[in-house]
Structure 1
């Protein structure tokens, strides 16, 4: 007699998803539009101040959330600082802005991602951080703590489905 995933007539509980496989964010704001503008930094004064003082922390928090915990805030912050000294920090920020836009189908505006980060890095960091907050994430606590919080609040999210291949 085969078990066929039965134990005494009961189905085994579904395996828990790894933290990194959860889909993004419980607040489903309209896709295709930014919640705030690039120059609305003062809508979140505490983040604006923190970003002005230590942009590497804001960048680390954004990277941790956008990459669903596969990179730590500390690691992303250290990479950002190293790239600042190499003169390449906008490339790192641009990469995560592009990923963030992809998550929510956001337009590349007011400028292309690279230009946003080259012309006004602090404004772009603040906007990315605000976008995550407005979509139900607290970047300051990290990806894992956000997922735990959503689970405690009973927020259910649909499974991640990879897009189908197109011709």
Structure 2
């Protein structure tokens, strides 16, 4: 008499993994991963001030907040403030010095990173 082994279990749900899925304690994408979202990248490249205003609004701040950069001699102080606030909200480690350095050397890349973060975590950036 021959004993037949049990058939393998049938898989009914495939595991899924979303690229760039947000995690508490870290950015969902690097500062220079601008091409991860081409729409946001093009928006930042062609109209960086508009992207700054959109990010500010999507984060819950005044739409015109980035216009205060004009009063600060052109330094993107509002981007630094929004980035540090976002780090605090999502418990992402870092420092204000790191925020300043990144914003001063590549403001558009930082704005794109903030927009991608809002898009993944809040599902409200478009």
- TM-score band by shorter chain is 0.7 to 0.9
Please tell me whether residue 96 in structure 1 is matched to residue 82 in structure 2. Answer: yes
Q: Which has the larger radius of gyration?
A: 2
Q: 1:119 aligns with which of 83, 105, 109?
A: 105
2:79–2:111 contact (8 Å) kept in structure 1: yes
Q: How far 1:119 moved relative to its partner?
A: 1.1
- Counterpart of 2:44 in structure 1 is 51
1:57–1:77 contact (8 Å) kept in structure 2: no
Matched residues, number? 105
**TM-score, L = length of structure 1:** 0.56
**2-structure distance, mates of 1:78, 1:29:** 29
Q: Alignment partner of 1:116: what SS?
A: helix
2:44–2:111 contact (8 Å) kept in structure 1: yes
**TM-score, L = length of structure 2:** 0.72
Q: How far 1:83 moved relative to its partner?
A: 4.9
**1-structure distance, mates of 2:71, 2:120:** 28
Gaps of 5+ in 1: 1-27, 141-167
- Counterpart of 1:12 in structure 2 is none
Q: How far 1:77 moved relative to its partner?
A: 4.5
1:132–1:138 contact (8 Å) kept in structure 2: yes
1:147-158 matches, cutoff 5 A: none
